[in-house]
Amino acid sequence: MHKTILYLVSEDWYFLSHRLSLALEAKKNGYFVHVACKDTGKLNEIKNYGFVCHKLMSNKRSTSLKNIIKEIINIRYIVKSINPSIFHLIAFRSILLGLFCVAFNKKINIIATITGLGSVFLSKNIKIQFLKFIITFFLMMSLKKNNIKLIVQNKDDYNFCLNTLKCNFKKVFLIRGSGVDINHFSFQPEPPHPPIVIAFVGRLIKDKGIEVLLDAFEYASKNNNIRLYLAGSIDHLNPSAITEDYLKNKLIQNKNIIWLGEVKDIKSLWKKSHIAVLPSRREGLPMSLLEAAASGKAIIATDVPGCREIAINNINAITVPLDNTIKLTEAIIYLSKNNEIRKRFGLKSREIVEKDMSENFIINKTISIYKNLYIKA
């Protein structure tokens, strides 16, 4: 009988950008791979790699009980039809829905990868805080089962699992990020001529700090020859999405802000950039900064979980307090004016990634967990 693994992820594009290499390695190791995700137009691309795909009818922006129940029924049907030996749940929403679907199934080995704690854990709203309490209690109960293992991407989430969720430390594995192909993202020297290019790569949502970044750049760009590239789309389904009108107004006000939309060749973007910036509110371990670091770029990021795993203050980065426009402005101006510091930070960035964040290193650690979990039928 085939060893079968089912990946549950939110959307097809996320699987392609963050989990494709892992799934290909699993396939190479004899696993029959299934992928369940929402089809945003890239599902056939996943199928072309030889994986069996299952379309999820999900709307992550919807919190209606009716839609959530529909999604749970959808996932439960997929799980029952496949009966995988390993069910790999990736990201917070998938973890909650996936665990609910297999609450009474003790035969399937479950791996839950926390890629960040999400907007629920960032909100100060009283109703959301109550929801956070319910979710935390549900996770505490679910994670006591012997057939569940956890993968976290940063030390903060590792401590959260041990201290808040009360997980046994033997069930929690710290694997720093999704990994980056350090051969593809090779070291790129800085462009020799100004303007100094600062690049933001990610979804254009408030939780990524896009509003703070645009405000900070507005101040920093006065009397400074700098340019800001925004590579990414507006995630309209995300609760913290910005509006197109807001973004267009910012682009009209400042001609040095360039919105590139979705960029397929991110490597070429880092080649023409001097600085990577990500003022996010919380991360698992951001792929954009991994790729920037592998490319040898100095970093500006918020001092928050996930970001501080790859952006180390005064080593390869300047880290700033959360939602602090003034400090972010100062960091942009400082790094844009100090060539030697940028170059030193860039060399350190590459060194940090090569140590234990390369794609091969991360994939091998994850495959070893699969091998230890698999139980022959």
Q: Which residue from 93, 143, 25, 49 is spatially nearest to 35, judged by alpha carbons?
A: 49
The predicted model scores a pTM of 0.83
Residues 60-73 pLDDT 10s: 665 667 888 888 89
Q: Which residue from 164, 105, 103, 107 is spatially nearest to 133, judged by alpha carbons?
A: 164
CATH topology of domain 196-355: Rossmann fold (3.40.50)
Distance CA 328, CA 142 (A): 40
Beta-strand relationship, 317-320 and 257-261: unpaired
Residues 362-373 pLDDT 10s: 999 999 999 887
Q: Provide the residue ranges of all domains of the chain, joining segments of one domain with +.
A: 3-179+358-373, 196-355
Q: What is the pLDDT of residue 66?
A: 80
- The dotted CATH code for 3-179+358-373 is 3.40.50.2000
Residues 46-97 pLDDT 10s: 999 999 999 998 766 656 678 888 888 999 999 999 999 999 999 888 998 9
Q: Which residue from 206, 205, 225 is spatially nearest to 336, judged by alpha carbons?
A: 225
Q: What is the pLDDT of residue 356?
A: 84
Residues 235-257 pLDDT 10s: 877 778 888 899 999 999 999 99
List, as one string, the DSSP characters of 94-143. HHHHHHHHTTT--SSEEEEEES--TGGGT---HHHHHHHHHHHHHHHHHT
